A and B are shown apart, each in its own frame.
Chain A
Amino acid sequence: MSGFADAPDADVIARILAGDGDAFGILIRRHEAGLLRFATRMLGSADAAADAVAEALIRAYRHLASLDDPTRFRTWLYRIVANRCKSHLGRRSAQRVSLEEAAPVPDPHDEEAELERAEQLGLVERALRTLSPEKREAFLLKHVEGLSYEEMAALTGERIPTLKMRVHRAREALLEALKEHR
């Protein structure tokens, strides 16, 4: 298994579908950091993000056989997580998340530079939360997760020109919000 840890997603998936369910752990460890980061930024809460990602991973495992192209597993996972995030956001749309709740808590032992970095991160996170879920998702997928427009199109089901426009508007909205939160 140790050598298998570096195998491409498609090979690991073939192994899982052949009956080695535990090999799913390889895929979890390979992709969860990005998924958790994306969900945390989408939802503004690490707990809610962990729930969304865990639910998405279980769903992915149970529907693995229905994945047409295993080489696009990562994109497929992001799609499931993005849908879970939308469900979570929909469920709590009535209640506003307080900005303080999700603000990063700096470690008191951190150096001054680290505190400043945490402060700036808090500023960006607050600005990000003012964007609509669609724009937030577009910005995060493009600029934080580094997906191409083609991958984003496969993930969201939207056309590339639509996504480009959404990313452009998201950049503008984020800059505007950053000015306001200064």
Chain B
Amino acid sequence: MSRLDPRIHQVLDGELPPERLAPELRAVVLRLERAAGLLRAGPAPASVADRVLAALHRPETSRARRVLQWLTERHVVTIAMRPVWSLALAAILATVILVPDHGGAPLLGAQEGIARFVGHFPGARSVDVVGPFTDWHTGVVALRDDDNDGVWSAVIVLPAGTHEYMFVVDGERWVADPLAGRYVSDGFGRQNALLIVRPVSR
């Protein structure tokens, strides 16, 4: 590899004014600057903001709940152990259940997709989205209206498939999303909105 004249590096490092270079050396500087300029101005890549925020807002299934779920499903489990080991196992299980989970989950599983909830609620003080994915509880997925224009939104990761949901305005008013397009009866005379989440194609 041929070495460049050191003055070229000095100019590119801002240690020497370009006027001090002979034209042929300045042409080399321009060539490198043009290459960098092309790389800087290439096509703008697609934003990852939604994907990241959705992953950060993924409704967490608690570890205790996952263990409970596993325990209530059908499994064939055969364990033969001395009593002292069963105590150790109990201690390990307690640790797994009680120690909080600090993430490390993958961004999006193969069977997960991004769900965006948007609603127009001018004057609302809070808007939550609830569904089976929050156990129909508020305070899990809150929508935001950062510019106070009455449009509230949230982006979260959900398992692919169909999800029923409702908006809860100001913690008390349950509203079926008027823009959902699909609805299903909740069995109590009201309609839940339906959302279809498709797995993110890679």
Which positions 146-162 of chain B face chain A at CB distance < 8 Å?
A: 146-148
CA distance A48 to B7 in the complex (A): 37
Count A/B pairs, Cβ under 8 Å. Answer: 112
Nearest chain A CB to B11's CB is how many angstroms away? 11
A176 within 8 A of B: yes
B2 within 8 A of A: yes
Chain B interface residue number, banded: 35 or more
Q: Is the CB of A175 within 8 A of B31?
A: yes
A8 within 8 A of B: no
What 1/0 flags go to B28-53 for Cβ under 8 Å of A? 10011101101110111111110111
Q: Is the CB of A168 within 8 A of B48?
A: no
A11 within 8 A of B: no
Q: Is the CB of B45 within 8 A of A46?
A: yes
Q: Is the CB of B102 within 8 A of A144?
A: no
A53 within 8 A of B: yes
A49 within 8 A of B: yes
B71 within 8 A of A: no
Chain B residues closer than 8 Å to A169, beta-carbon distance: 1
If A1-B146, A22-B144, A171-B12 touch, does A54 touch B42 (CB 8 Å cutoff)? no
B9 within 8 A of A: yes
Nearest chain A CB to B110's CB is how many angstroms away? 14
Q: Is the CB of B103 within 8 A of A32?
A: no
Instruction: Report which A residues bind B (CB closer than 8 A).
Output: 1-2, 21-22, 24-25, 28-29, 32-33, 36-37, 40-41, 46-47, 49-51, 53-55, 57-58, 61-62, 104, 117, 120-121, 124-125, 127-128, 139-140, 143-144, 149, 164, 167-169, 171-176, 178
**Sampled A-B contacts (30; CB under 8 Å):** A24-B56, A25-B53, A32-B49, A36-B45, A37-B39, A37-B42, A37-B45, A50-B46, A50-B51, A53-B48, A54-B51, A54-B55, A55-B107, A57-B48, A57-B52, A62-B102, A62-B103, A104-B43, A120-B38, A124-B35, A124-B38, A125-B39, A127-B35, A143-B12, A149-B13, A168-B9, A171-B9, A172-B1, A172-B2, A174-B35
Q: A58-B107, A178-B31 are in contact. List 20 more A-B contacts (CB 8 A).
A: A1-B147, A24-B52, A24-B56, A25-B53, A28-B52, A28-B53, A32-B47, A37-B42, A50-B45, A50-B51, A54-B107, A61-B56, A62-B103, A121-B38, A149-B13, A171-B8, A171-B12, A172-B1, A173-B1, A175-B32
Instruction: Report which B residues bind A (CB closer than 8 A).
Output: 1-4, 8-9, 12-13, 28, 31-33, 35-36, 38-40, 42-49, 51-53, 55-56, 102-103, 107, 144, 146-148, 202
